[in-house]
Amino acid sequence: MTYKKLSEQVHELSNPQRSDTFVKMFRDAVRDGKFEAAYMPERFTMPKQFTRRGSEGTYQRDTKEMLFETTPKFDKWFDEVNRELAAARKGGTIKPSVEAIEAGLVDFKQMAAETRKKMQASYEKGQALGQTRSKNKRK
């Protein structure tokens, strides 16, 4: 049986900027019993470069070291996770702007339908509120 450290496995990731996500997924898999691992007394520095908002420069984080058995089951799990993490992350939603609409990144018809729906809901809410207030005055 061969054993491997988590820090060694992290360096095999095709996208080191996702090492924090990989460590979380690794710990979840251990917790769920997909494979066996044990904490080691030392810590290691993850390769991901973090940045703080509003300041320059980057920093790195440390995490607890773990030891695990390399089995075919683990290798299969790692290949799937590595492929998933290597894919580009889906960014946030695109903010509506004239440029985004003209470029076709935002669907204008869908935006208009949502706006109409919100305006109708607001109108109906106001009408209902007005009706309840007029009933209260009569009493």
- The pLDDT value recorded for residue 29 is 92
Cα separation, 11 vs 108, whole angstroms: 44
The pTM for the full model equals 0.59
Three-class SS of residue 103?
helix
Burial of 130 (0-12, 13-18, 19+ CB in 10 A): exposed
- The pLDDT value recorded for residue 133 is 76
Taking the chain (139 residues) in runs of 10, the rounded mean pLDDT of each run is: 88 86 92 91 87 82 91 90 75 74 80 92 91 71
Asked if residues 64 and 30 have their Cβ atoms less than 8 Å apart, the reply is: no
- The pLDDT value recorded for residue 137 is 65
| Spatial CA neighbour of 15 closest among 90, 72, 81 | 81
- The pLDDT value recorded for residue 113 is 92
Asked if residues 50 and 60 have their Cβ atoms less than 8 Å apart, the reply is: yes
**Cα–Cα separations (whole angstroms), residue 104 to 81, 90, 94, 116, 117:** 33, 18, 11, 20, 22
